[in-house]
């Protein structure tokens, strides 16, 4: 009996010990999901996110997939990224290149081997200071679905080929790009991320500026422009100088204003998308009230686009000569050598009507956040010279529809958009101009017919320019009285 009790006690102790060991093992070998999967921090920097926003507009990015955590496999990619709507895929390689592609359509492994049509798709490179965009050339074959790959753009760019950390790059297959520029011909991935793209538009109930969106208002604004007369009798037209980076929309602004008064969309000044300035001459454009109408009391002066590199784009010294009226119409700029006082084109004796009465800085809303330090310094140098001459200054924020989805949906949301207001505040801080001197507009670019809301924004900007020119004439009158 005593032996049996001893054996039973021993067995109970043994069983308790085994249970305790099992519990400890379970705690060590079945950790929570948080312990298994490391924290998924984006590799995309804040500056690179700003660059993507300059390509995509006002958006929010949410990280869906990170290959170093989820694995470099098609199965993991599709599990995390299918049916998520618009996405941007970003690849990183060992030589520091950051590149990828965007699609507005769903990824869907169920469509194995099929192409997805997407006319909004594009590839990109974020390696330089300014992002480079490569649009799809065949929208029918923008994106391809495959179960053993990651994001697959046409036949041109493929991440995680055959479930490995590699890239396939084939320029010309539905996307045209320079491989060395995009990824430096380094096809070994150190990371691949996929982000969900969501609209970042935030509509505020009370508009930050009041505007009347009615046909009557459009007519009133047009009549106000026609009736304007400079306060100084020797000056027949206010001269407004447009200054801004390449591609910001200076020439397009003149074309848009001209379209309003012609009654249809027109394109007199050369405009378009290019890495360098399409305007190579100093041009003075007079807008007419109709095809055979009288010239309006405003002249819009177009200049070569500004570039950040030394010896490229519009020179600051040339701007000084323009402001004082020394540069003739159709003068061809030489970026490396500004117009000299002893040159035969240099107009020595100029009157007030040849000088600039208002300066307008034209800024692309999408690129405000990625403005380079060198370009900002150039603009600051110009502002100092303009200030010395006492010329009023205004800022046009262009491409507001491209910057904010809610404005793209309805242009009348421009003053209800928190994003556009934020961009205006950012420009105000970076250029040192008050918010009251910043006017958002949308130029005509793809349209064939006029739009009332677009016209009202453009005309409102034109009225502000005339008011600012009036301020200049006031100062001239005051100075003459004192003299």
Residue-wise pLDDT tens digits, 214-253: 999 999 999 999 999 998 888 999 999 999 988 899 989 9
- Whether 17 shows a pLDDT value over 80: the answer reads no
The predicted structure's pLDDT at residue 14: 47
Phi, psi values for residue 65, rounded to 5°: -140, 135
pLDDT average, residue stretch 67-94: 96
With CA atoms as reference, report the closest residue to 255 among 465, 54, 454: 454
Question: Residues 115-128: pLDDT tens digits?
Answer: 999 999 999 999 87
- Whether 20 shows a pLDDT value over 70: the answer reads no
Query: What is the distance between the alpha carbons of residues 295 and 287, in angstroms, rounded to a whole number?
Result: 6
- Whether 375 shows a pLDDT value over 60: the answer reads yes
Of 277-291, 322-336, 360-374, the one with minimum mean pLDDT is 277-291
Query: What is the distance between the alpha carbons of residues 324 and 17, in angstroms, rounded to a whole number?
Result: 95
Query: What is the distance between the alpha carbons of residues 333 and 335, in angstroms, rounded to a whole number?
Result: 6
Question: Residues 139-148: pLDDT tens digits?
Answer: 999 999 999 9
Query: What is the distance between the alpha carbons of residues 477 and 483, in angstroms, rounded to a whole number?
Result: 10
Q: What percent of the chain has pLDDT over 90?
A: 62
pLDDT average, residue stretch 40-68: 91
pLDDT average, residue stretch 109-114: 94
Greatest mean pLDDT among 237-251, 270-284, 452-466? 452-466
- Whether 73 shows a pLDDT value over 60: the answer reads yes
Helices (H), 66-154: 67-70, 74-81
pLDDT average, residue stretch 445-470: 95
The predicted structure's pLDDT at residue 5: 44
DSSP letter at 339 equals P
360 vs 200, residue with greater confidence? 360
The predicted structure's pLDDT at residue 182: 95
Hey, what domains does the chain have and what are their CATH numbers?
Answer: 46-199 (no CATH), 215-474 (3.40.50.300)
Dump the DSSP string for 363-416. EEGGGSTT--HHHHHHHHHHHHHHHHTT--EEEEEE-HHHH-HHHHH-GGGGGG
pLDDT average, residue stretch 26-35: 40
| Contact call for residues 247 and 399 (beta carbons, < 8 A) | no
The predicted structure's pLDDT at residue 269: 62
Residue written as token pair 């380079």: 372
SS3 76: helix
The predicted structure's pLDDT at residue 281: 81
pLDDT average, residue stretch 203-221: 94
Q: How confident is the prediction for the chain on average, in pLDDT?
A: 87
335 vs 196, residue with greater confidence? 196
- Whether 80 shows a pLDDT value over 60: the answer reads yes
The predicted structure's pLDDT at residue 331: 83
4 vs 428, residue with greater confidence? 428
| Contact call for residues 129 and 371 (beta carbons, < 8 A) | no
Query: What is the distance between the alpha carbons of residues 354 and 239, in angstroms, rounded to a whole number?
Result: 8
With CA atoms as reference, report the closest residue to 55 among 104, 94, 96, 97: 104
Cα 483 to chain centroid distance, Å, stands at 47
| Contact call for residues 466 and 228 (beta carbons, < 8 A) | yes
Q: How many Å from the N-terminal Cα to the C-terminal Cα in the chain?
A: 129
The predicted structure's pLDDT at residue 309: 65
- Whether 271 shows a pLDDT value over 70: the answer reads no
With CA atoms as reference, report the closest residue to 279 among 329, 320, 340: 329
Band of pLDDT at residue 318, cut at 50, 70 and 90: confident
CB burial of residue 260 (10 Å; 0-12, 13-18, 19+): buried
Q: What letters, b where the CB count within 10 A reaches 16 and e where it falls short, cover 150-160?
A: bbbbbbbbbbb
pLDDT average, residue stretch 26-54: 68
Band of pLDDT at residue 31, cut at 50, 70 and 90: very low
| Contact call for residues 439 and 397 (beta carbons, < 8 A) | yes
Number of residues that this document lists for the chain: 483
The predicted structure's pLDDT at residue 21: 44
- Which residues are bridge partners to 122 per DSSP? 102, 135
- Which residues are bridge partners to 363 per DSSP? 397
């Amino acid at each position: 009996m005593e032996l049996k009790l001893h054996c039973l006690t021993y067995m109970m102790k043994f069983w308790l010990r085994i249970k305790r060991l099992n519990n400890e093992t379970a705690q060590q070998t079945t950790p929570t999901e948080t312990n298994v999967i490391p924290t998924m921090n984006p590799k995309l920097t804040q500056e690179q996110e700003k660059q993507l926003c300059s390509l995509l507009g006002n958006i929010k990015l949410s990280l869906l997939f990170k290959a170093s955590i989820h694995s470099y496999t098609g199965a993991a990619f599709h599990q995390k990224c299918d049916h998520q709507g618009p996405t941007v895929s970003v690849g990183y390689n060992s030589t520091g290149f950051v590149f990828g592609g965007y699609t507005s359509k769903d990824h869907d492994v169920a469509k194995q081997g099929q192409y997805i049509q997407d006319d909004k798709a594009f590839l990109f490179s974020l390696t330089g200071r300014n992002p480079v965009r490569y649009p799809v050339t065949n929208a029918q074959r923008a994106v391809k679905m495959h179960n053993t790959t990651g994001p697959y753009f046409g036949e041109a760019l493929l991440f995680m080929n055959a479930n490995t950390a590699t890239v396939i790059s084939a320029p010309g297959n539905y996307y045209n790009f320079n491989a060395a520029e995009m990824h430096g011909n380094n096809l070994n991935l150190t990371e691949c991320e996929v982000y969900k793209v969501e609209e970042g538009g935030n509509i505020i109930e009370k508009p930050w500026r009041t505007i009347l969106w009615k046909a009557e208002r459009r007519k009133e604004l047009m009549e106000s422009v026609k009736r304007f007369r400079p306060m100084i009798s020797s000056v027949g037209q206010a001269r407004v100088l447009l200054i801004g980076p390449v591609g910001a929309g200076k020439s397009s602004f003149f074309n848009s204003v001209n379209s309003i008064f012609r009654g249809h969309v027109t394109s007199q000044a050369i405009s378009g998308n290019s890495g360098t300035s399409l305007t190579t001459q100093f041009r003075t454009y007079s807008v007419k009230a109709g095809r055979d109408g009288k010239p309006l009391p405003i002249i819009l002066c177009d200049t070569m686009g500004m570039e950040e590199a030394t010896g490229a784009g519009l020179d600051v010294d040339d701007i000084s000569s323009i402001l004082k009226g020394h540069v003739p119409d159709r003068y061809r700029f030489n970026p490396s050598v500004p117009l000299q006082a002893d040159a035969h084109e240099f107009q020595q004796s100029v009157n007030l009507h040849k000088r600039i009465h208002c300066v307008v800085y034209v800024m692309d809303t999408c690129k405000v956040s990625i403005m380079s330090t060198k370009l900002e310094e150039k603009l600051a140098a110009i502002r100092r010279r303009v200030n010395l001459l006492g010329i009023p200054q205004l800022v046009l924020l262009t491409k507001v529809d491209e910057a904010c989805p809610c404005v793209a949906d309805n242009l009348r949301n421009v003053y209800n958009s928190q994003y556009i207001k934020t961009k205006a505040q950012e420009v105000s801080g970076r250029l040192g101009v008050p918010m009251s001197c910043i006017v958002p507009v949308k130029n005509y670019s793809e349209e064939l017919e006029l739009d009332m809301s677009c016209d009202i924004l453009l005309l409102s900007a034109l009225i502000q320019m005339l008011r600012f020119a009036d301020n200049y004439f006031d100062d001239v009158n005051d100075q003459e009285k004192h003299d």
